[in-house]
Structure 1
Amino acid sequence: INRISGDTEFNTQKLLDGGFKGEFQIGANSNQTVKLDIGNMSAASLGLTTTNSLEIKALTKDSNLADGTYKISGKNLVDTNGNSVGTFDAASKKITVNGKDTVFDKAALAENAVLTVKSGTAEIKNTMTGAATKLSSG
């Protein structure tokens, strides 16, 4: 989606990156036009989510982190009851549970990311930031 939004163009004019503003003649007279602005159509602008799955057997085995759903809240990893079960460091992409660190080097962890643990595998869902942009007449 990001490549399409960044590369789609007509007559060297980018169409989906948020910079397109056009006016079209729709009638016989000079003042019969329609203006069209197309907002940014990147994944973040559309409010899409991304999912990363990775093996974390060391995390569940060494930390006794039970199967379940957890959420990153500030610097904490919290369970469904809101209890802190570990800490999160955004800069190093590290989750610490019971003194054991796990680094998610291929995952983009962010505030409100949801971590689901099941049978030694974690699935992380992040909601990408950015407001969805709608087409509107000018």
Structure 2
Amino acid sequence: MGTSLVRALRPDGVFATVGFTEGIPQVPLNLVLLKEISIRGFQLGSFVVRHPDRYAQAMRKVAAFAEAGMVPYVAAVHTLDDVVLAVQQVGERRATGKVVLDVSGQNRFSLVTRVPSPAASRSIA
């Protein structure tokens, strides 16, 4: 998969990795050189340790988004009895938003269908 992703990048593009769901992609370095692209990786655990101030700043922004009503779109909520169905939905790429597995048995999650307006997202710094 790494080869096709690198081929799809424009010259001077950026190949960014944020975790892996299907193994670690193999990236052809000759294409990296020829297309003059950059490769960036991100791992939350080490980021928090190395940059606690930047992490705290990002969490304040996330809190501001939540206070403004900007929450992730939840496409489906499944009980623990439906875990196979939930995993299939994600694995087959049929999920169009977050898929929540509610293990509490209290049905605390609801589908969120509100999409914030562009003006609301611009007002948060």
TM-score range, shorter chain: under 0.3
Whose strand fraction is larger, Structure 1's or Structure 2's? 1
Q: When you count helix as a share of all residues, which structure comes out higher?
A: 2
TM-score (norm 1): 0.22
Query: Between Structure 1 and Structure 2, whose CA radius of gyration is higher?
Result: 1
Instruction: Give the structure-2-normalised TM-score.
Output: 0.24
Of structures 1 and 2, the one with the larger relative CO (CA 8 A, separation 6+) is: 1
